[in-house]
Amino acid sequence: MADGKVLEQTSVDVPDCGSDSLARPVFVGTAVAGTMDILAAIIVWALRDVPAMRVLQSIASGLLGTYAFSGDVVTAWFGVLLHYMIMSMIALVFVLASRRLEFLIRHFLVAGAAYGIVVFVVMTYVVVPLSASPIQSPPPAQVLEGLLIHMVCVGLPISLTAHRFGRRLLAN
């Protein structure tokens, strides 16, 4: 209350992109999962005395190779850009699949955790080795850590977003 008056709650009007639009779930899934994933990586590596800039440069090294580590903050920001671009593709794949396979929306917790595992395996053992990155496969203890992070910070936020925006598709 302000001066004896009840303040009304207002909401931001977000344009409806149509019930079949991919834009909203992909954008929200990318923003949430991308942010959670990068923060988890920065925190985990900070505990190992690796600075955040180095973590971000390691993402850039996928395209730039070892040059990314000799760069400055520009290569770190390039790593951020690449991270969100990759995450948008990861979110898009799940959202597209959820439009065809409704169990991904109905069983979003299991689907999200499983998708996080798939993303970790593909990124760690296919994408990174095929890139210009000098980063090697992680040791077993870090594999478990990476799996858990990808389940919680990547798969679940994306599946929750697909569930949130896909429920009305199931109702139709």
Average pLDDT per run of 10 along the chain, which is 172 residues long?
48 48 94 98 98 97 96 95 98 96 95 98 97 94 96 98 79 54
What is the pLDDT, as a whole number, of residue 20?
62
What is the pLDDT, as a whole number, of residue 172?
53
**Phi, psi of 14, deg, nearest 5:** -100, 125
- Rounded Cα gap, residues 34 and 133, in angstroms: 20
Burial class of residue 37 (count of CB atoms within 10 Å of its CB; 0-12, 13-18, 19+): buried
Burial class of residue 26 (count of CB atoms within 10 Å of its CB; 0-12, 13-18, 19+): buried
What is the pLDDT, as a whole number, of residue 6?
47
The domain limits of the chain are 23-171
What is the pLDDT, as a whole number, of residue 168?
63
- What torsion do the CA atoms of 66, 69, 74, 75 make, to the nearest 10 degrees? 40
Handedness of CA 122, 108, 143, 88 (dihedral sign): positive
What is the pLDDT, as a whole number, of residue 11?
44
- Rounded Cα gap, residues 98 and 90, in angstroms: 13
